[in-house]
Each structure stands twice: as structure tokens, then as C-alpha cells.
Amino acid sequence: MTETETAIWSVMVYIMIACYGLLVGSFLNVVIFRVPKEESITKTRSHCMSCGYQLAWYDLIPLFSWIALKGKCRKCGQRISLQYPLIETLNAVFWVIVFYCFNGKTYFINNGVNWKFLIYFALSSILIALSVIDFRTFIIPPMFNYLILGLGIINLGLAIIPFMFNADSGKTFTDLNIYTNIIGFFAVSVPLFILYWISKGRAIGGGDIKLMAVAGLLIGWKKIVLAFIIGCIVGSVIHIARMKISKAEHILAMGPYLSVGIMVAALWGEPIINWYFGFFKK
């Protein structure tokens, strides 16, 4: 394959991933609006939030329908929330970044695709929905933590199952390093639970504790500790700024900031950790 063909193929793949990201982002908007209201995300057709007009298929094309309608309902003319295109675009961008981080420019050469990117596609989408809902309601619905728990179990399965069916590989069970994931389940969640118990729930929410537990199972103990540190730093800076600029409440929804930390740690955790500990080797 020539360099030109490689470049064309690469662009096509990333465009396809972005399109799928937009589609899933459109579904995330449904989840974000309906889950806090305990409405069905599958049985009720998409409709205008103002007049109830049931949207046709051509009103549901992610991003482009919003642009074509100039951000207004076709029926009543009321403004459609800017959240729709923002969430769709954000999810598409995340998916492109995730794919690049896991496969770069070599996904079709020799080594093939690292299929773990599918797990992190799902993780990024879950964290987007979780963050918006927690930011608005100060509640992380349990379904999101269950979904991330499922991703963690799948991730462990992808490591264990090939080992079980390839006993002659010379590797031992300890070579799989899955203990880092198991420790990750407890590394941050246990200290947070102790803080929750001491403060009687005033210092941290139960949903945040569960989020750090299930995310730790997925990304391992070193990365979840890094995720928590990043989340605290980002949360402190942004929330202090919000309190000064917009007079936001002192109550802090940690979910969005922990989600930022989790994604940063999941994608770039190893180089960040190696860079940090590199200072102690000099």
C-alpha cells in the first residue's frame, strides 16, 4: 500500500469513526434527558421538548439536522437546546481520539487492530452522559456504574480467556497483571468510603465512590489514583472559578471532573506516570 493510499484509507476510517460517534452521541442526548426523569429511552419516540412534535427521520440526523433547522423546532419554532450538537460532536471527537490512542496510524498494518478501543469507546460515551446528568442533578444513576463494571469484567475476560486456551505459551497467571485491576477496584474507593462514613455523606457522594471502584477495575490501580488526582485538581480549579464568576453553589458535583481524570488516565496514564517517576530516577 502506497503512502497516498495509506493516507486516504486513514482519513476514511477516521471519518467513519466520527460518524458512528455522532450517531451514538445522538442517543446519549436521549439518555441524558430521559434517565433523570425515569422515562423509557427505547419505547418513546424522539419529540420536541416544547410542543411534543414527533421528529421524522430527517430531523434526527446528528449535528446536520440541527444545523439545517437553524437550532429550531420544525413545528413550533422553539429553540432546540445547544446540548444536542455539543454532545454529538464531543462524543465523535472522543471516539476519534480513543481510536488514535489505541491504534494510531498502524491499525491496518501487520499487527492489526487493538480491539480494546471498543471498550474505551463505550467508556467515553458513558462518562459523557454520566457527567452531564451528575452536573445537573448531583446524582450518578446506578446504571452507568453497572455499565462500567461490565466493561471492567470484559477487559479482564479478554486477558484471562486467551491465557486459559493457550496454556503452552509459557506465561503464568501472574504475568497477566490482572491484580493491578483488582487492586484498582479498592485503591481509591475504600479511602473515599471511609471519608463518606466519617463525614456521613457530606464530603463525597456514594455514586462517586462506586464510579472510582468500577473505573479502577477497568484501568488499574495506578491509573485510577492518577485519575482521582487529576479529577480533584480540575474540579477545584473549575468550581472555584464558577463560584467567583457565576456565583455557583458550594456543592460540587464530582462526577464530571472524575470522568475527566478517568479518560485522561485511561488514554495517557502510562506516559504521565512514567514521566512523574522519572524525576526520582535522576
pLDDT at residue 109 in the model? 47
Beta bridge partners of 47: 54
Cα–Cα separations (whole angstroms), residue 26 to 59, 143, 236, 254, 274: 11, 19, 30, 24, 37
pLDDT at residue 42 in the model? 83
pLDDT at residue 96 in the model? 95
pLDDT at residue 121 in the model? 96
* CA nearest neighbour of 141 among 206, 197, 227, 231: 206
pLDDT at residue 16 in the model? 94
pLDDT at residue 48 in the model? 83
Mean of the per-residue pLDDT values for the chain? 88
What burial class does residue 1 get, using C-beta atoms within 10 Å of its C-beta: 0-12 exposed, 13-18 middle, 19+ buried? exposed
Beta bridge partners of 54: 47
pLDDT at residue 280 in the model? 79
- In whole angstroms, what is the distance from residue 200 CA to residue 271 CA? 37
pLDDT tens for residues 88-133? Answer: 999 999 999 999 988 765 555 445 566 788 999 999 999 999 999 9
- In whole angstroms, what is the distance from residue 158 CA to residue 160 CA? 6
Query: Measured on CA atoms in the order 60, 66, 71, 77, is the torsion positive or negative?
Result: negative
pLDDT at residue 110 in the model? 47
Low-confidence ranges of the chain (pLDDT < 70): 1, 104-114, 166-176, 247-250, 282
